[in-house]
Amino acid sequence: MQMVDKKIEEYCISKSTLPSNDCDRIETYTRANVHGAGMLIGKMEASLIGFLLRSIGAKRILELGTFTGYSALAMAENIPDDGEVITVDINQTTGALAQGFWNQSSQGHKIKSLIGNGLEIIPTLSGRFDFVFIDADKRNYIDYLKLTIPLLSPQGIIVIDNVLWDGKVLPDVELDLSEHRDRNTEFIRLVNDTIAQNENLYGTLLPIRDGMFLIKKLA
């Protein structure tokens, strides 16, 4: 489901501050060579995340779901030189590909890649994060949220990707639970409902790309 008219989106992209050519190279390579390239956040989302990072002066970022390294690099480009992006992915092959792209980029030195299951890695991390980007397996979204809320710095923000799941989260959409993609809808509905009902969180769900949930802890 196209959330925003294609021409409107293209116009917005043409007027926005966008990720660098280093990110473009990752996007082009991934679209041509890697299965699942549709998972890339793309330019519009990257631009908004960059805006958020700069607005809060983020220095320390945790990403769940590295894939080929596009979003990690786009985030690294919007934090200071002594900032850090810790990015986690279970897939060693795409992790190695990402590392190769970062090594050739001007901002990739800020990125630290951890290979493994997000649920196992998060409890091993120390310190606070100014920004958490949740973009890994949907089944564990709710646990990623619960595990990362306590890790937020006072100005910290969590962004969760794909929360509209191609429009399937709407209550009147019937799901085919024999389909993997449809089963994931239930996990995303759960996370969206949990945020909406939590009085200690300020949440804004934006219809950008496949849906982005912006979350902040209330004091």
Ligand X SMILES: C[S@@+](CC[C@H](N)C(=O)[O-])C[C@H]1O[C@@H](n2cnc3c(N)ncnc32)[C@H](O)[C@@H]1O
DSSP code, position 107: S
Min CB(151)–ligand X separation in Å = 16
How many beta carbons lie within 10 A of that of residue 135, not counting itself?
24
Our CB check for ligand X shows the closer of 171 and 190 to be 190
Min CB(136)–ligand X separation in Å = 4
Strand order across the 201-206 sheet: 111-115, 84-89, 60-64, 129-134, 152-161, 212-217, 201-206
Residue among 59, 148, 76, 60 nearest 111 (CA) = 76
Min CB(187)–ligand X separation in Å = 12
Our CB check for ligand X shows the closer of 97 and 152 to be 97
Our CB check for ligand X shows the closer of 114 and 149 to be 114
Our CB check for ligand X shows the closer of 84 and 137 to be 137
Start-end of H helices in the chain: 6-15, 21-33, 42-56, 70-76, 92-103, 118-121, 141-148, 180-197
SS3 state at 4 = coil
Interface ranges with ligand X (CB under 6 A):
39-41, 64-65, 67, 70-71, 88-91, 94, 117-118, 135-137, 140
Min CB(153)–ligand X separation in Å = 21
